[in-house]
A and B are shown apart, each in its own frame.
Chain A
Amino acid sequence: MGASGSNVSLARRAWAIRRNALLMGEVQGQGYIGQALGVADVLAVSYFHALRYRPDDPEWEGRDRFYLSIGHYAIALYSALIEAGILPEDEIGTYGMDDSRMPMSGMAAYTPGMEITGGSLGHGLGIAVGAALGLKRKENPAFVYNMLSDGELGEGSTWEAVMSAVQWKLDNLIAIVDFNNQQADGPTTQALAQVPEAAKWSAFGWFAQSVDGNDLDAVVAAFDAARAHDGPQPRVIICNTKMCKGIPFLEDREITHFIRVEPDEWAKALSILDEEKPQ
Chain B
Amino acid sequence: MTQPELSRRRSKYTPRVAPEGAKLATSAMIASLDSEGRETRAAPFGHALVDLAKDRPDIVGLTADLSKYTDLHVFAKAYPDRFYQMGMAEAVMISAAAGLAREGFTPFATTYAVFASRRAYDFIIMAIAEENLPVKIVCALPGLTTGYGPSHQATEDLAIMRGMPNLTIIDPCCATEIDQATRAIADHPGPVYMRLLRGQVPDVLGEYGYKFQLGKAQMVRDGKDVLFVSSGFMTMRVLDAAKALQADGVDCGVLHVPTIKPLDTATIVAEAAKGGRLVVTAENHSVTGGLGEAVAAALMRAGAYVPFRQIGLPDAFLDAGALPTLHDQYGISVAAVTASVKGWL
Give min CB distance, A35 to chain B, whole Å. Answer: 20
Give min CB distance, A164 to chain B, whole Å. Answer: 5
**B226 at interface, CB cutoff 8 A:** no
**B98 at interface, CB cutoff 8 A:** yes
**A120 at interface, CB cutoff 8 A:** yes
- Chain B contacts of A109 at CB under 8 A? 130-131
Q: Which of A122, A134, A167 has the most CB of B within 10 A?
A: A134
Would B92 and A135 count as touching, CB distance under 8 A?
no
| Chain-B contact segment, one of A7-15, A123-131, A250-258 | A123-131
**A133 at interface, CB cutoff 8 A:** yes
Secondary structure of the B contact surface, majority rule: helix
Would B84 and A160 count as touching, CB distance under 8 A?
no
Contact indicator per residue, chain A 108-142, by CB within 8 Å of chain B (1) or not (0): 11000001110110110111111111110110000
Would A133 and B130 count as touching, CB distance under 8 A?
no
How many A-B residue pairs have C-beta atoms within 8 angstroms? Tell me.
98
Would A120 and B91 count as touching, CB distance under 8 A?
no
Would A135 and B103 count as touching, CB distance under 8 A?
yes
Q: Quick one: given A108-B131, A109-B131, A123-B127, are A130 and B91 in contact (CB under 8 Å)?
A: no
**Among A129, A134, A160, contact of B105 (Cβ-Cβ < 8 Å):** A134
Rounded to whole angstroms, the CA-CA distance of A167 and B122 in the bound complex is 24
Would B102 and A131 count as touching, CB distance under 8 A?
yes
Q: Which of A122, A127, A160 has the most CB of B within 10 A?
A: A127
Would B131 and A126 count as touching, CB distance under 8 A?
no
**Nearest B-chain residue to A164, judged by Cβ:** B92
- Chain A contacts of B40 at CB under 8 A? none
Rounded to whole angstroms, the CA-CA distance of A138 and B127 in the bound complex is 21
- Chain B contacts of A119 at CB under 8 A? 126
Q: What is the interface size of chain A, counting residues whose CB is below 8 A from a CB of the partner?
A: 32
> Which bracket fits the contact residues of B?
20 to 34
- Chain A contacts of B102 at CB under 8 A? 115-116, 127, 130-131, 134
Would B103 and A156 count as touching, CB distance under 8 A?
no
**Among A129, A135, A137, A167, contact of B95 (Cβ-Cβ < 8 Å):** A129
Would A128 and B99 count as touching, CB distance under 8 A?
yes
Give min CB distance, B308 to chain A, whole Å. Answer: 38
Would A164 and B87 count as touching, CB distance under 8 A?
yes
- Chain A residues with CB under 8 Å of chain B are 107-109, 115-117, 119-120, 122-123, 125-135, 137-138, 144, 156-157, 160-161, 163-164, 167-168
- Chain B residues with CB under 8 Å of chain A are 60, 84, 86-87, 89, 91-92, 94-105, 107, 122-123, 126-127, 130-131
